[in-house]
Each structure stands twice: as C-alpha cells, then as structure tokens.
Amino acid sequence: MSTEIVVPTIGESITEGVIAAWLKQPGDWVEQDETVLELETDKITMEIPAPAAGVLEAHAAAEGDTVEVGAVLGQLNESAEKPVDKPAEEPAEKPAAKPEPEPAAAAKTDAAQAKPSPPASGSSPAAASNGTTNAPSASDRGLAAATSLAKKLADEHGVDLTAVTGTGAGGRVREQDILAAVQAGHNGQGGGGTNGVAAGPSRAVSVQRMTPLRQRVATRLVEAQQTAAMLTTFNECDMSAVMALRKRHKEAFAETHGINLGFMSFFVKAVVRGLRAQPDVNASIVEDDAGKPAIRSHEYCDIAIAVASPKGLVVPVLRNAESLSFAEIESGIKDLAVRARDGKITLDEMSGGTFTITNGGIFGSLMSTPILNPPQSGILGMHAIKNRAVEDPANPGQAVIRPMMYLALSYDHRIVDGAGAVKFLVAIKDAIEDPERLMLEI
C-alpha cells in the first residue's frame, strides 16, 4: 500500500511553493508525522510531514522546483518493513605488536617516508614537485549536510561547505547560507592566485532566482505605491524621558518579568494611544457587497512589527496590543523575532495586521519614508537616536543637547486626512516624551 505526499492547502492567497530541501531520500524509512521536506512559499517556509510511516520512494520533484498546491511530491510504501537496527559488532582482536626495529632499520624507514613518492600516472612532474594535489570540489564536501541547490552554488562560487554554518533543519546548509557566505567573503579559499601571484579584480557576475518571499515583498511594495495615495509626514521626539525611565527600572523589570525592557514596548503603547485618538489610521479600504469602496474600521489594534530575517523582511503581528502589558509586548516581540529568524513563523501570525511599525534605526537609518503594508492605511518608521542641539523646553531660547529620534508616518491619503495624520504623529511624540502617562494610562 502506498500513500501520496502532497502539497497541502496553505492559505487562500498561496497557490504554489518551491521545494527548499528534501530531508529524506528515496529508500529512507520515515515515521508518521516526521518531516520529509521543507517547502518555501511567498510568505513562510513550512515543513511537510509524512502522512504515514513507510519507506520513501522516488521524489516526484527536485529541490528548487516550483510545485502547486495539491501536487504529488512523493510516495510512501507502507507495506515495506521497518529496518531493524543491527547490533554493534564485537571489536576485532588487536594485531600483535610489532617488535621495535633496530636503530639502523628505523633510520632507513624514516628516510624512506621522507622521500617524496613518484608522481601518479597522468600528473605532471611539476605538480608533484610542488607537493600539490587536486582539491576536491565543493560538491564532494558536506554532502549529507547541504541541499543540492546549495552544493551547486558552492561549486559555482568556490565555497567550502564545511566552513558554512547551516540554518536549515538539523544544521543543513541551504542556498541562503551559501549566498551569505559569498557576500561576506568567507569562501574558504586563499587570497593568492596561481603560484602565489595575486589575482586581478574579479568581474564575475551571478544571477539567482528571487525567492518566493522576496517576490511577494516586491509585488506588495509596488502594489502599495500603485494603488494607495501614499504620503509621508515627519516629526521628531526627545528620547530623554524614556531613556531615563528605562535606565532606572530595567534591572527590576528584567528580574520581575524575565524579559528586558526595550524601546519597542513604549512605541507600541504610543501607537495604540494614537490609533485610539485617530481611528482612521487603524482602518482600511475594502469593497462592500456591491463592489463599491468601503471603509473597514477595527476596534482592536493588531500591530505588525517589521522583522529582518535571513530570507527577507517579514511582518509578524502582535495581536490585541491594546490589552497587553509592557512585559507582554516585549515577550511577544522577542518571540516573533526569534521565530522569524529561524523560519518558524506561521502564515496566521503574519496575516491581518491593522498597523505596522518598522525600526530602521537599528541599522543606522537617520530618516526614511516607509512604504505601506497593504491593505493597511498607516506605517510608522522609527530611526536612529542621535544627540542634537534643540531648544530647551524648560528654558525657551536656550539650546541643549538631547537624544532625538526622527519619526515618519506614511499613510493612505484616501482614508486619512493630513490633519489626522499629523495629530496621530504628535500623539506618539507626546507619549514618548512623557512616558509616565503611558504607564498610568492617562
């Protein structure tokens, strides 16, 4: 009896995926629910489990192939018997120790070992005299720990697979790991050219297919600019009060809640405050039953947090942020960020956000105009904190050095008026500059 392994229904908007890695090979015994392969879609990378126990027959598709939902990926032979583990063999008897050679004989043996062996048939005498050997190709190294696409890229770029840390299941090296190694210059090769002569500047080019996630991100960004009347307004906030409050209480906060107190929880709380004051920013444009434009409002605040992952930008959602404490927000963001980095985010966790926060400041961005995350009507861009001279609020007319952050709000002008957008950004600024009001919820 055979059972088919098929691409499951993932979501309404996902119709296909790319086989990222086969974790089981033809002839392998597979237990029920054991992961057989990894499938990469335009939103997530998911593990495909075995529907039954049995021996995996030939793959119906190879790594790197695009497969549609419902496609058959392989067969499991349930009638096959599970292989029985062989008991460990008894160690062979140790050979009798050879008598120590006489000093003269030992000297002859050492001299024979020191003498270079003659060149092998077909090799040049020059190569033999230089002591060089034909280096194994990248595909001959790390075979069991790399996908076929990763091996191909490794051969093309001269990457030593044994020097690459894999991010796939079980430490398996994937194509993203090879590309990262190439970009970082960790190719495991020496810097000199032939016979120690430095090679000239490289003019090599490479073309890699965009991952489904990258394709999806590109499509949505273009869609946002083509369909929304997008506009960006800016403001700045003084981070002094938040930084002082965090410094005073961060140790007690970590000890009490088991999580560090960061800046994101303050901004999430401030965004919730702004969305409550300007509900249009928390709404989106949809079609009604008659196909006419309509406004869908949300009583809840599902805040999407932009996270950089090895595969690209993902935006997991922090549900009902309006009801979360500072500790719950920090824990939720950390959990989403870690699982996004490890490729463990689910499709549901990246769907349905009502507003997005992106923090380019962690990468050093001073100012930017973030692009909307459709169908949302607003996105807040945070930036780097820089000490700048500003007017002292307590002493008008006098300059003082303060840690300042530029804030950017991109919004859909079809639903959010300019005045509402400015008031929303001012509400965030006021909340950050007076964080006690956030904590007291006044």
Catalytic residues: 413, 417
| Amino acid in position 291 | G
Please state, in angstroms and rounded to a whole number, the distance separating the CA atoms of residues 126 and 19: 46
Token pair for residue 59? 């793959």
Q: Could you tell me the maximum CA-CA distance found in the chain, to the nearest angstrom? A: 103
Tell me the C-alpha to C-alpha distance, in Å, between residue 407 and each of 26, 287, 382, 421, 431. 54, 31, 5, 12, 13
The three-state secondary structure class of 401 is strand
CB 344 within 8 A of CB 309: no
Bridge partners for 35 per DSSP = 49
CB within 8 A of 169, min separation 6: which ones?
21, 23, 35, 38, 47
CA 429, CA 266: separation in Å to the nearest integer? 11
DSSP string, 89-110: PPPPPPPPPPPPPPHHHHHHHH
CB atoms within 10 A of CB 195: 6
Cβ atoms 31, 49 nearer than 8 A:
no
C-alpha distances (whole Å) from 70 to each of 35, 286, 348 are: 18, 30, 20
